[in-house]
C-alpha cells in the first residue's frame, strides 16, 4: 500500500480558522458529554451512595478487565428532551472486555428516576441486545430499576419494540448460545423481574437486590398481606427458597467478582479469521482532523485527508482512483485490522454508484469489513441523469450495501442527506455501529434546499388560486424552515433519539472502528450472496 501525501497546509490561515471553529464545537461536545454522564440529581446520588451502592459507570469500570476501554453507546440518549431529567436515558450501555471476551453491558442508573424506563431507555436497551445478537456477544445486565416509567406507559409498554422486547431478545439470545448474565443490584419489579429470571445465571446482592412480580404496595392492595421488600423477594429468599437467583453477593463489589468468575467458565467462541498486521500509528497527527473536519458543509473536503489520519501508517490502496472521483474506495488497515473504505468526495453519479457497488462486492468476497465515511448531499438530479439511469444504477449501490454480509461501520464526518444516507450505509442499512462527529448534520435534505422547495410549492399553490405570496410571509416561512432543519439536523438531535450509536471525538474514530471490528469477529461472516440487480 502507498502512503498518502497530504495537500493540507497546517500553517495556513484557513486551516487555523477551521481548527478554532471546530475546537469551539468540540468544547461544547465535551461539556455536554460531561453533563449527561454525571448521572441523576445530586440528592439522588447521595442517597444511592449512602446505601453502600456504586454508581452505574463505577460498576461497569469494575466489571471490565483492568486497563481496557469501555465503548459507551448513546450517552446522549434523551438529551434535550423531558427537560433533561433523563440523562443518558437513565441507562448505561456499551461494549467492554471481561476475561478477554467482548461483552455487551447494560447497567441501569437508579439515580435517574429510580432507573425506570421511558421510550429512549427502552430503545437503548434493545439496541444493545441487537448488537449482542449481530456479533455473538454475551450480555451482562446490571439491574437496578423500578421498571416502566408509569407516566409514559403508552410509549413503553404495548408495542413490538417496547418493554417486552427485552425478554423476547433474552430468550432468543440464550437459544443462540449467547450467555445472558444478570446482577440484581437494586429493585427489579413487575415485568422487570423476568430479566434475571430469564438469564442463564443470576447474582443478587444482599439487602439491596429484590425481585418480585408485584411489590409490597401491590401485594397489600391485592391480598391485604403486609410484607417487606426483603421478605417478599430479597437475596435470601431467591437464593435459598425460590431458586430464582443462583448466587448470593454481600455487596456490589462481591457481585461483580462473582460475575467475572462466571466469565471464566464460558466457552471460547469460534471466531472469524482475518489476517492482521502490526499496529502502526498514522503518519499524520489525528488531531489535524480538527482543522480539516467540515464546519461549513458548503466547502468540499477531500476525504483522503480524513482517511490518512485514521489508517495505519496513512497507507491506502486505492481502487479505481481515476474513475468516478466523487467517491473514494480502497483498502487499508486500522489498528492492524484490514478494512475496505468507502468515502464521499461529492454527489453520487451513476458511475459513482457502480464503482461503490463493485468495491462492496470485492470486500464481501474477500471477507473484509467495510467502513463508510459519510459526507454526502445525495444523488445527482436532472433530466440528463434520470435518462441516463441514475435510479437504476443508484439501486445497484443500495442493493450492494443492503446485501453485503461483512460487518459495516458508518461514521458521518460531515453531512448525511437524502438517499445518500441510505447508499452510504445509514441506520436503515444495519451497520454494526453508526457514529457521528459533533459537527455532523443529518436530514432528508439541507435546510436551504428544503426551504426553497417548500416555498416554491406554496407559491405554486397560491398562484393556482390567483394569489401571490407576500415577500414578508415568504421570508418568515423560509426562516422557520431553516431553523427547524438546523435544530433537527444536528448530531445531538439525532443521538438523543438513537438514530445513531453516539457522537465521537474525531481523534477517537480509529479506536472506535478497531473495537467494532474486534467485536464483529466473534461470529463467522455469512457467505457472499447478492440478489437480482437491474442490469
Mean pLDDT of 502-531: 95
DSSP string covering 276-312: -------SS-GGGHHHHS-SSTTS---HHHHHTTTSG
Banded model confidence at residue 534, pLDDT cuts 50, 70, 90: low
| CB 390 within 8 Å of CB 347 | no
pLDDT at 113: 92
Q: pLDDT tens for residues 335-363?
A: 999 999 999 999 999 999 999 999 999 99
* Helix, strand, or coil (residue 172): helix
Instruction: Please name the residues in contact with 349: beta carbons below 8 A apart, sequence gap of 6 or more.
Output: 324, 326, 379, 380, 385, 390
Write out 462-486 in H/E/C secondary structure. Answer: HHHCCCCCCHHHHHHHHHHHHHHHH
Q: Say yes or no to pLDDT of 163 above 90.
A: no
> In the beta sheet, which residues pair with residue 315?
3
Q: Which residue has the cell 448525511?
A: 416
280 C-beta neighbours (distance < 10 Å), count: 14
On the question of pLDDT at 535 being above 60, the answer is no
Mean pLDDT of the chain: 94
What are the tens digits of pLDDT across the range 58-91?
Answer: 999 999 999 999 999 999 999 999 999 999 999 9
Return the number of other C-beta atoms located less than 10 Å from residue 245's C-beta: 29
Which of the four pLDDT bands, split at 50, 70 and 90, describes residue 156? confident
Residue 194: pLDDT over 90 = no
Beta carbons within 10 angstroms of residue 352's beta carbon: 26
User: Which pLDDT value is given to residue 84?
Assistant: 95
The predicted model gives 184-188 an average pLDDT of 93
In angstroms, the Cα distances linking 103 to 51, 68, 99 are 28, 12, 10
Residue given cell 398562484 in the structure block: 463
Supply the pLDDT for residue 215: 84
Write out pLDDT tens, residues 216-261: 888 888 899 999 999 999 999 999 999 999 999 999 999 999 999 9
Whole-number Å distance between alpha carbons of 265 and 129: 22
What is the distance between the alpha carbons of residues 502 and 397, in angstroms, rounded to a whole number? 26
Is residue 189's pLDDT more than 90?
no
C-alpha 522: how far from its chain's center?
A: 19
Query: What is the distance of C-alpha 433 from the center of its chain?
Result: 5
Does the pLDDT value for residue 190 go beyond 80? no
- Strand partners for 334: 337
Phi-psi region of 78 (alpha: psi -120 to 50; beta: other; left: phi over 0): left
Alpha-carbon 347 to chain mean position: 25
- Which pLDDT score, from 0 to 100, does residue 410 have? 98
Q: What percent of the chain has pLDDT over 90?
A: 83
Does 107 or 162 have the greater pLDDT score?
107
Distance, in Å, from the CA atom of 55 to the CA atom of 185, rounded to the nearest integer, reads 11
Query: How far apart (Å, rounded) are the C-alpha atoms in residues 246 and 197?
Result: 10
The pLDDT score that the predictor gives to residue 378 is: 87
In 3D space, the residue among 462, 373, 365 whose CA is nearest the CA of residue 424 turns out to be 373
pLDDT for position 346: 94
pLDDT score for 319: 97
pTM: 0.95
Helices and strands, counts by H and E, the chain? 21, 15
| Residue 104, pLDDT above cutoff 90 | yes
Query: Taking residues 139-163, what's their average pLDDT?
Result: 87
pLDDT in tens, 251-308: 999 999 999 999 999 998 899 999 999 999 999 999 999 999 999 998 999 999 999 9
**Residue 254 DSSP one-character state:** H
Element holding 534 (H helix, E strand): none
Q: At residue 19, does pLDDT exceed 90?
A: yes
Amino acid at each position: 500500500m502507498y502512503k498518502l501525501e497530504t495537500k493540507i497546509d497546517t500553517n495556513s490561515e484557513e486551516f487555523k480558522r477551521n481548527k478554532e471553529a471546530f475546537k469551539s464545537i468540540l468544547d461544547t461536545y465535551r461539556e455536554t458529554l460531561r453533563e449527561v454522564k454525571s448521572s441523576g440529581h445530586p440528592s439522588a446520588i447521595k442517597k444511592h451512595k449512602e446505601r453502600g451502592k456504586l454508581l452505574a459507570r463505577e460498576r461497569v469500570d469494575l466489571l471490565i478487565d483492568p486497563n481496557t476501554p469501555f465503548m459507551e453507546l448513546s450517552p446522549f440518549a434523551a438529551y434535550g428532551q423531558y427537560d433533561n431529567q433523563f440523562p443518558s436515558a437513565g441507562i448505561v450501555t456499551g461494549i467492554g472486555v471481561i476475561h478477554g471476551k467482548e461483552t455487551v453491558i447494560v447497567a441501569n442508573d437508579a439515580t435517574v428516576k429510580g432507573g425506570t424506563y421511558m421510550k429512549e431507555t427502552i430503545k437503548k436497551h434493545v439496541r444493545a441486545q441487537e448488537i449482542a445478537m449481530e456479533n455473538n456477544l454475551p450480555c451482562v445486565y446490571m439491574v437496578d430499576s423500578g421498571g416502566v416509567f408509569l407516566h409514559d406507559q403508552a410509549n413503553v409498554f404495548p408495542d413490538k419494540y417496547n418493554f417486552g422486547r427485552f425478554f423476547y431478545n433474552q430468550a432468543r439470545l440464550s437459544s443462540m448460545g449467547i450467555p445472558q448474565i444478570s446482577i440484581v443490584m437494586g429493585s427489579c419489579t413487575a415485568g422487570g423481574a423476568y430479566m434475571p429470571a430469564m438469564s442463564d445465571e443470576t447474582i443478587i446482592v444482599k439487602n439491596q437486590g429484590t425481585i418480585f412480580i408485584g411489590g409490597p404496595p401491590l401485594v397489600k392492595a391485592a391480598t391485604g398481606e403486609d410484607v417487606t421488600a426483603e421478605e417478599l423477594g430479597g437475596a435470601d429468599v431467591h437464593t435459598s427458597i425460590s431458586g430464582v437467583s443462583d448466587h448470593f453477593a454481600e455487596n456490589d463489589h462481591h457481585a461483580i467478582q462473582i460475575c467475572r468468575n462466571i466469565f471464566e467458565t464460558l466457552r471460547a467462541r469460534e471466531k472469524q479469521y482475518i489476517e492482521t498486521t502490526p499496529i502502526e500509528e498514522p503518519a499524520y497527527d489525528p488531531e489535524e482532523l480538527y482543522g480539516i473536519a467540515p464546519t461549513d458543509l458548503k466547502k468540499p473536503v477531500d476525504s483522503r485527508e480524513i482517511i490518512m489520519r485514521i489508517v495505519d501508517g496513512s497507507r491506502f490502496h486505492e481502487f479505481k482512483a481515476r474513475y468516478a472521483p466523487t467517491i473514494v474506495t480502497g483498502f487499508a488497515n486500522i489498528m492492524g485490522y484490514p478494512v475496505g473504505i468507502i468515502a464521499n468526495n461529492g454527489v453520487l453519479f451513476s458511475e459513482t454508484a457502480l464503482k461503490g457497488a463493485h468495491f462492496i462486492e470485492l470486500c464481501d468476497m474477500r471477507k473484509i469489513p467495510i467502513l463508510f465515511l459519510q459526507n454526502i448531499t445525495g444523488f445527482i438530479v436532472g433530466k440528463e441523469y434520470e435518462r441516463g439511469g441514475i435510479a437504476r444504477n443508484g439501486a445497484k449501490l443500495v442493493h450492494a450495501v443492503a446485501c453485503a454480509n461483512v460487518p459495516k461501520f458508518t461514521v458521518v464526518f460531515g453531512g448525511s442527506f437524502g438517499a445518500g444516507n441510505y447508499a452510504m450505509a445509514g441506520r436503515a442499512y444495519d451497520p454494526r455501529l453508526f457514529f457521528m462527529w459533533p459537527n455532523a448534520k443529518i436530514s432528508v435534505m439541507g435546510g436551504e434546499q428544503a426551504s426553497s422547495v417548500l416555498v416554491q410549492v406554496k407559491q405554486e399553490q397560491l398562484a393556482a388560486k390567483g394569489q401571490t405570496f407576500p415577500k414578508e410571509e415568504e421570508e418568515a416561512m423560509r426562516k422557520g424552515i431553516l431553523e427547524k432543519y438546523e435544530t433537527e439536523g444536528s448530531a445531538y438531535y439525532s443521538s438523543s433519539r438513537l438514530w445513531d450509536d453516539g457522537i465521537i471525538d474525531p481523534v477517537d474514530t480509529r479506536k472506535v472502528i478497531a473495537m467494532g471490528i474486534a467485536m464483529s469477529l466473534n461470529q463467522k461472516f455469512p457467505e457472499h450472496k447478492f440478489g437480482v440487480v437491474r442490469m
